[in-house]
Structure 1
Amino acid sequence: MGSIFGPAYSSRLLFIAYHRRIGCIPRFQKEPDHQRAMASILEKHGLKFVNPADGQEVADQLHFSHAVILPPNARTVIISGQVGILPDGSVPQSLEDEYDEAFTHVENVLRAIGFGEDALEYVFDATFFLKGGMDPSLLVEVARRRFKSTRPATVGVEIAQLLHPDLHLEIKVVAYMPDSVAA
């Protein structure tokens, strides 16, 4: 078992350097100022997202935070691993559809608890289990699109196989529960 993104900055840097070398990830491109200025909905609830100066560039590229500080007495919910299986039990044909479906399952669990349409915006911690040998750049792209303005603390773990042999991704998240969500 190896680390895709790795919990340490040096692991992330090696990940980026390797995937840039093989052409999976382009050179760092700074996000436009209007995207950097976008505040996460979680910041309005007192959560603080922290990136060290020497880690900001990789955090911008991969759309994550190195650390998330919760306010005192914050309520949280842990969502167990969700995969991209369709309602009929089949696995989508494309990886992007499978990844999107896994995010949809996370979103559906949050909505079942009482979160609204912006459910994924409350995720502050995400762990991605990705089948070995898979290019993680598509996952980064889908996560950036689905998480929108929030940047969860993120760990990517490369695994040999998921329980269903045709699946490539499992997502486990932790979300902040605002007072408006009555569980």
Structure 2
Amino acid sequence: MPAPVGNYAHITKTPRNAELYVTSGQVGIDGNGQFPQSLNDQVQNTFTNIMAVLVSEELLAENIIKVNIWATEEIDWNFFDEQWEQLFHKDYPSMTVGYVDKLGLPEIKIEIEIWAAKV
């Protein structure tokens, strides 16, 4: 099997007897309910929102087994990977990325769904 083309794993094993957590897609809305215009600002807010969801369930990045990413414009992978590395520190989950025409609201430029498992 060839190496992954990015910072992800080809497969992630769910621990035996683990509880499964599936988030709604997290978006780039800020604490004031506003969507920044730039995709990078939305990416940063999205990772902040992901961390808040994880903390609410006492989950860590190590519990994440799958990430689905949808974006309406080209992702700045250098910036995205900086945020990604702060969360995962090289222990990567499985990941899917898709580019779409629209997401749930016209302001949303990126949406990230997390699957996690905890014993």
TM-score bracket relative to the smaller structure: 0.7 to 0.9
Question: Equivalent residues in 2 for 1:93-104 (5 A)?
Answer: 93-104=37-48
2:113 and 2:28 mapped to 1: Cα distance?
12
Aligned to 2:74: 134
Structure with greater helix percent = 1
TM-score, normalization by structure 1: 0.58
Give the 3-state SS of the residue equivalent to 2:12 in structure 1.
strand
Matching residue's letter, 2:21 = V
Shift of 1:87: 1.6
Report the count of equivalent residues.
118
Shift of 1:76: 1.8
Shift of 1:97: 2.4
Q: Which has the higher contact order (CA 8 A, sep 6+)?
A: 2
Q: Does 1:70 align with 2:14?
A: yes
Q: Does 1:156 align with 2:97?
A: yes
Largest Rg, 1 or 2: 1
Question: Equivalent residues in 2 for 1:28-107 (5 A)?
Answer: 52=1, 54-56=2-4, 58=5, 62-107=6-51
1:135 and 1:113 mapped to 2: Cα distance?
28
Q: Indicate if the aligned counterparts of 1:84 and 1:98 stay in contact, CA closer than 8 A.
A: yes
Question: Equivalent residues in 2 for 1:7-26 (5 A)?
Answer: none
What is the CA deviation profile of residues 109-150 of structure 1, one whole-angstrom value per residue up to 9, with x for unaligned ones? 1211123xxx2332110000111x423523344323322232
Shift of 1:93: 4.3
Name structure 1 gaps, 5 residues minimum: 1-51, 179-183
1:128 and 1:141 mapped to 2: Cα distance?
16
Q: Indicate if the aligned counterparts of 1:65 and 1:154 stay in contact, CA closer than 8 A.
A: yes
Q: Indicate if the aligned counterparts of 1:121 and 1:149 stay in contact, CA closer than 8 A.
A: no
Shift of 1:173: 0.7
Q: Alignment identity in percent? A: 25
1:144 and 1:113 mapped to 2: Cα distance?
21
